Amino acid sequence: MAVLSPLPSLQDLNLTFHQTTLVFPSKETEKRSIFLSNSDHFFNENVRTAHFFKANPDYSPENVAARLKNALEKVLVPYDFIAGRLKMNHKVGRLELDCNVAGAGFVVASTDASLDEIGDFIVHPNLGFRQLAVQKIDGLAGEVEQPIFVVQLTSFKCGGFAIGMSMNHILFDGMGAKLFVENLASQAFDDDKPLAVIPCKDRSLLAARSPPVVAFPHREFLDLNDLHASTPPPSNGNQTRLEYKIFKLSAAQILQLKSRAKNSDNPAARISSFAVMAALVWQCKAFSDNKDRAKDKVSTLVHIINIRERVDPPLPMSYSANAVLPMGVSATHDELENGPFGKLVEMITEGAKEMTDEYAKSAIDWLEGRRGVPHGDYIVISWMRLGFDRVEYPWGKAMYSCPLVYERREISLIFPDAMDGGVGAMVALPAEQMERFEARFRKFFE
C-alpha cells in the first residue's frame, strides 16, 4: 500500500513561456449560439489535465509544438464551440455557448526539470503540475475575453514533454474530452487523416421535458436558489489549507478488497475496482470528519454516472457534452464504521443501477429553473475507463495521463495506474482530517 507525502516535490517548475497566443479554426465556421443542457450547467468550473510523453528522437519539442498547433486549428472546425465563449441569454435566463470564433488558447513553455526529477507520477499529487495547464492568456482583459479551452506544450530538459489542457467543464465530460483528445491526436499526423470519431454536438438531446416531470426527490443536488437550504454549498477549500495525498492500492490489494466485499448470497456478482475503492474512501472520509461522530449521523456518498447508455433512446457514444449525473447513497456512521465492508460496496453498485432512464430524465427536469449542484459529504469521480493514455499521437502514447490537483476537499478522484494495474485515489483534506483519514486507511489492511 502506498500512502504518500503531503509535501509534493517540485511545487515550482520554473517555466519559461515562449508562446502564448490564441488559435482559430483553419476554416470558416458558422457563428451561432448553442443551447446548454441542465447537465452542462452544473459543471461550470475549470478542470485541468496533463499528459506526459517520453522523449522521441524523431519529434523535437519544436516539431511537436508546430504539429499540435496545426492540429488544434484543424480540430476547431468540427469543434467550433471550443473557440467560443460562454454568454448569458438574458431573455431566457440561461447560459449559452457563443460560437463567435474568439479563439482557443495555445501555450508553449519549457522547464529545466526532467521527467526523472518529477519521480513516480502516480505517487505524487504534485502541485507544480498545475503550471502545465495555464488557464489564462496574457493580454486579454477580463474573464469574458479569456478562452474556455487552452492547450499547453511544456518541454523538459530530458527531451520529454507534457501536453496540458485547461477547459471549462461545460464543454465536455470525461468521455467527451477523451474523444476530443483522440481527434486532436489524429490531426497531428502528416497525412490528411479523418477524425477518429465524428462528435455528436446536439445538446438538445438532454433538454428537459415540457412540462418537466419530477418523479424523485433528487437529494443528490443542492438547490442554490433555495434560501432556506439547511446545508451550505460545498467549499472549495480556499479558506482552509489543504493537504494532498494519493492513496494507491496494488492490483493484489484490489483483489483482496473484492474478495472481502463478496456477498455470500450472490458470490458470482461482479464487483468493480471503482466500487471497492470508492467504498474504502467513503469509510475513511466519514471517519476523518469528526472525532466524536454520532453513530446515527447519516453520511452521503455521491458518484458521477455516465448516462449515455442509461437513457432511452441511448445517446451516441460520441456525444460531446456532459452526459453525466450524480447519484447518492447514504449510510449511518455506525454502518460505515462497524458494518460489513461488502454492504457499502453493494450500496454503491446497486445505487448506480437506480440511474435509469426515468431517473435521469427526472433529474434533468428537476434542474430546470434551479441552480442545482451535486452535493454530498463526499463526491467520487471515476477516471477508471477514460483511457487517455491509450490515445495514439504521431510521437506515441502518453506514458501517464492524470487530472491535476483538485482543490476541493469534498471531491476524490479515482483513477487506474496503468503501470501495475493498481488503483489510486487523490484526496484533499485539512491536515487534522487527513491524519485521521490515513490512520483509518492503514488500519483497514492491518
**Complete DSSP assignment for 296-360:** T-EEEEEEEEE-TTTSSSPPPTTB-S--EEEEEEEEEHHHHHHS-HHHHHHHHHHHHHT--HHHH
Task: Give the Cα separation of 213 and 357 in Å (integer).
Answer: 13
* Grid cell digits, residue 115: 521527467
More confident residue, 415 or 142: 415
The one catalytic residue in 51, 73, 124, 169 is 169
Task: Give the Cα separation of 37 and 41 in Å (integer).
Answer: 7
Task: Give the Cα separation of 189 and 68 in Å (integer).
Answer: 10
The answer on pLDDT for 124 being more than 70 is no
Per-residue pLDDT tens digits for 376-421: 889 999 988 888 989 999 999 998 888 887 777 888 989 887 667 7
The answer on pLDDT for 38 being more than 90 is yes
Q: What is the DSSP letter of 59?
A: B
Highest mean pLDDT among 98-107, 191-200, 365-374: 98-107
List own/partner pairs for 275-279 with CB under 8 A and 24 or more apart. 275/345, 275/348, 275/349, 276/345, 277/249, 277/414, 277/423, 277/425, 278/303, 278/348, 278/380, 278/382, 278/414, 279/341, 279/344, 279/345, 279/347, 279/348
Name which of 347, 34, 401, 421 is nearest 207 in CA terms.
34
**The predicted structure's pLDDT at residue 4:** 43
- The three-point CA angle 354-232-373 to 5° equals 40
* Grid cell digits, residue 162: 507534457
Sign of torsion, CA 409 411 417 418?
negative
* Grid cell digits, residue 137: 492568456
**The predicted structure's pLDDT at residue 346:** 93
Report the mean per-residue pLDDT for the chain. 88
- Mean pLDDT of the region 72-98: 95
**The predicted structure's pLDDT at residue 30:** 94
The one catalytic residue in 96, 117, 368, 392 is 392
What is the pTM (predicted TM-score) of this model?
Answer: 0.91
Per-residue pLDDT tens digits for 182-221: 999 999 998 888 999 999 999 999 999 999 999 999 999 9
Name which of 326, 362, 368 is nearest 215 in CA terms.
362
**378-382 and 298-306: which strand pairing?**
parallel
The answer on pLDDT for 72 being more than 60 is yes
In the structure, what pLDDT confidence band is assigned to residue 314 with cuts at 50, 70 and 90? very high
**The predicted structure's pLDDT at residue 142:** 66
Coil, strand, or helix at residue 39? Answer: helix
Q: E-strand spans in 46-174? A: 46-53, 85-89, 94-99, 104-110, 149-155, 161-168
The one-letter amino acid code at 123 reads: V
Would residue 62 show up in a list of annotated catalytic residues for this protein? no
Give all strands of the β-sheet with 400-403 in edge-to-edge order: 16-23, 104-110, 149-155, 161-168, 46-53, 400-403
Is the previous residue joined to 194 through a cis bond, with omega within 30 degrees of 0?
no
Task: Give the Cα separation of 381 and 45 in Å (integer).
Answer: 15
Highest mean pLDDT among 118-127, 129-138, 264-273: 129-138
**The predicted structure's pLDDT at residue 2:** 45
Grid look-up 502541485 returns 127
- Mean pLDDT of the region 141-168: 91
The answer on pLDDT for 174 being more than 60 is yes
The answer on pLDDT for 8 being more than 70 is no
Name which of 322, 323, 370, 364 is nearest 93 in CA terms.
370
Task: Give the Cα separation of 131 and 349 in Å (integer).
Answer: 37
**The predicted structure's pLDDT at residue 419:** 67
The one-letter amino acid code at 413 reads: L
Per-residue pLDDT tens digits for 214-230: 999 999 998 887 755 44
**The predicted structure's pLDDT at residue 236:** 46
Sign of torsion, CA 388 237 104 153?
negative
The one-letter amino acid code at 95 reads: L
The answer on pLDDT for 350 being more than 80 is yes
Query: 428 forms bridges with which residues in the sheet?
Result: 244
- Mean pLDDT of the region 294-299: 84
Is the previous residue joined to 6 through a cis bond, with omega within 30 degrees of 0?
no
Torsion angle of C-alpha atoms 420, 64, 197, 40, degrees rounded to 10: 80
Would residue 354 show up in a list of annotated catalytic residues for this protein? no
**32-35 and 378-382: which strand pairing?**
unpaired
Task: Give the Cα separation of 199 and 216 in Å (integer).
Answer: 32
Task: Give the Cα separation of 247 and 441 in Å (integer).
Answer: 8
The answer on pLDDT for 47 being more than 60 is yes
* Grid cell digits, residue 244: 494532498
Domains along the chain with CATH numbers: 2-201 (3.30.559.10), 221-444 (3.30.559.10)
